[in-house]
Structure 1
Amino acid sequence: MSGRALVTGAGGFVGRHLVARLRADGWHVTGLTRADVDLADPVAGAAAVRAADPDVVFSLAAGRARATPAERAATVAVNTAPWLVDALPERCRAVVRLGSSTEYAAGPRPLDEDVPLRPRGFFGATKAAGSLLLQAAAAERGVRAAVLRAFQVYGPGDHPTRLVPVVLAAARTGATVPLPASVSRRDWVWVGDVVDACVRAALADDLPPGTVLNVGTGVQTGVEELVAAACRVTGRPIATAPGAHPGRDWDTADWVCDPRAARERLGWSPTVDLAEGLARTWAAEPR
């Protein structure tokens, strides 16, 4: 099954992979990037949605800037997009929102969809607010909405400042990787698996409206373990400097997904483990 798809955040890491997958599957895709429209402007955003006339919307646009009041206001506007549902045409049957695991409170056990929303950091707070607003607006409009809370997504084409690109670049150049002083573990999920979950959610007409599903592997890996895995994959030594990185708002010693609901409701399971994903990413990088 295919149709007309609108992808916001089409110029981002996951968005580029999703657009490629949809087009390969035969969808007519309208991709919106920052160069196309300012999604912090509700009038411009709504006009772009109406012009796309989509059967399905994939809401992937995400703002992160927060240094000034104006930047924070724009990030809230992009990450909540309260105008989105009202702009949808009658033909639209589903909105799939890519949320974030940072919407949750950290916990010592695998996180399922029932753990409290206690966002870690400003970004997590705006993503949580956007998820709640989408669910409420879609329910009033009668549009099926699904929120996929992705854990730590990685793969080819990620932003160069993120951990996997930094580690693999160090393998190539001999640079030293700065690491946080505290223990940091994450559930690393391959970008192609995240894209597959998005597509499955869009096509699952029997998925209850307002469904929230976690997208992760159920396996957490420490930063040092990831560096060691990258050494094995690349066959090159990677120097590290523990304590040289200030860490992130969402760093925690326990951050892992319980992916059972996605498996039960979408028939989705991760297909690429971390070692294979690092190998694929390394093979895709220019030498």
Structure 2
Amino acid sequence: MSGRALVTGAGGFVGRHLVARLRGEGWSVTGLTRADVDLADPVAAAAAVRAAAPDVVFSLAASRVKATVAERAATVAVNTSPWLVDALPERCRAVVRLGSSTEYAAGPAPLAEDAPLRPRGFFGATKAAGSLLLQAAAAERGVRAAVLRAFQVYGPGDHPTRLVPVVLAAARTGTAVPLPATVSRRDWVWVGDVVDACVRAALAEELPPGAVLNIGTGVQTDVPELVATAERVTGRSITTAAGAHPGRAWDAADWVCDPRAARDALGWVPGVDLAEGLARTWAAG
């Protein structure tokens, strides 16, 4: 099945992969990037949605800027997108929102969808608010909506300052990888698997309205383990500098997904493990 798809955040890491997948499967895709429209401007954003006349919307746009009052306001507007559902045409049958695992509090056990919303940081708070607003607005309009809370996504084309690109760059250049002083763990999920979950959610007409599904592997890996895996798949020695990085606000000793709900609802299982994913990312350059 294909149709008319609107992808917000089409210029981002996951968005680029999703657009390529959809076009490869015959979808007519309108991709919105920051260069196309200011999604913090509700009038311009709503007009762009109406012009796209989509059958399905993939809401992937996200902002992290927060240094000033104006930046925080714009980030709230982009990450909550309160104008989105009201701008949808009658033909639209589904909205799939890419949420974030930072909407949850960190915990020692795998996080299921009933875990409390206790966002880690400003970004997580805006993403959680956007998920709730989408569910409420979509229910009022009778539009099927799904929120996919992705864990740590990685793969080719990721931002160069993120951990996997930094580690693989160090394997190429011999530079040291700056690491936080404390060990954190993350559930690393391949970008192609995340894209597959998005497409499945858009097409799953039996998915209950307002469904929330966690997208991860159920396996968490600490940073030294990730570096060691990267050494194996690249055949290169990687130097690290513990304590040279201040860490991230969302770092946690445990951060892992319970992916069973996505498997049961979508038939989705992650197909690429960390070693294979790092090897593919390394080969992609």
Match of 1:110 in 2: 110
1:182 CA drift (Å): 1.1
Match of 1:247 in 2: 247
Secondary structure of 2:115 counterpart: coil
**Distance (Å, rounded) in 2 between the aligned partners of 1:121 and 1:224:** 25
1:219 CA drift (Å): 0.1
Match of 2:77 in 1: 77
Match of 1:9 in 2: 9
Match of 1:180 in 2: 180
Match of 1:57 in 2: 57
Which amino acid is the alignment partner of residue 180 of structure 1?
Answer: P
**Distance (Å, rounded) in 1 between the aligned partners of 2:17 and 2:36:** 18
1:207-235 deviations in whole A, cap 9, x for unaligned? 00000000000000000100000000110
**Distance (Å, rounded) in 2 between the aligned partners of 1:88 and 1:175:** 49
**Distance (Å, rounded) in 1 between the aligned partners of 2:108 and 2:169:** 32
Q: Please report the TM-score for the alignment, with normalisation by the length of structure 1.
A: 0.99
Superposed counterparts of 1:166-245, under 5 Å: 166-245=166-245
Which amino acid is the alignment partner of residue 156 of structure 1?
Answer: P
Which amino acid is the alignment partner of residue 42 of structure 2?
Answer: P
Which amino acid is the alignment partner of residue 14 of structure 2?
Answer: V
**Distance (Å, rounded) in 1 between the aligned partners of 2:208 and 2:171:** 45
Matched, 1:281 2:285: no
Runs of 4+ in structure 1 off by over 6 angstroms are: none
Give ranges in structure 1 of 5+ residues lacking alignment.
none
**Distance (Å, rounded) in 2 between the aligned partners of 1:79 and 1:104:** 16
Match of 1:47 in 2: 47
**Distance (Å, rounded) in 2 between the aligned partners of 1:110 and 1:243:** 27
**Distance (Å, rounded) in 2 between the aligned partners of 1:237 and 1:68:** 41
1:170 CA drift (Å): 0.3
Secondary structure of 1:245 counterpart: coil
Which amino acid is the alignment partner of residue 191 of structure 2?
Answer: V
Superposed counterparts of 1:122-137, under 5 Å: 122-137=122-137
1:223-254 deviations in whole A, cap 9, x for unaligned? 01000000001100100001110000100010
Match of 1:38 in 2: 38
Superposed counterparts of 1:257-268, under 5 Å: 257-268=257-268
Which amino acid is the alignment partner of residue 16 of structure 2?
Answer: R
**Distance (Å, rounded) in 1 between the aligned partners of 2:224 and 2:125:** 28
Q: Percent same amino acid among aligned pairs?
A: 88
1:43-71 deviations in whole A, cap 9, x for unaligned? 00000000000000000000000111111
Match of 1:20 in 2: 20
**Distance (Å, rounded) in 2 between the aligned partners of 1:274 and 1:211:** 27
1:183 CA drift (Å): 1.6
1:99-132 deviations in whole A, cap 9, x for unaligned? 0000001100000000000000000000000000
RMSD: 0.3
Which amino acid is the alignment partner of residue 92 of structure 2?
Answer: C
Which amino acid is the alignment partner of residue 55 of structure 1?
Answer: D
Q: Matched residue pairs, number?
A: 285
Give ranges in structure 2 of 5+ residues lacking alignment.
none
Which amino acid is the alignment partner of residue 237 of structure 1?
Answer: S
Secondary structure of 1:189 counterpart: strand
1:260 CA drift (Å): 0.1
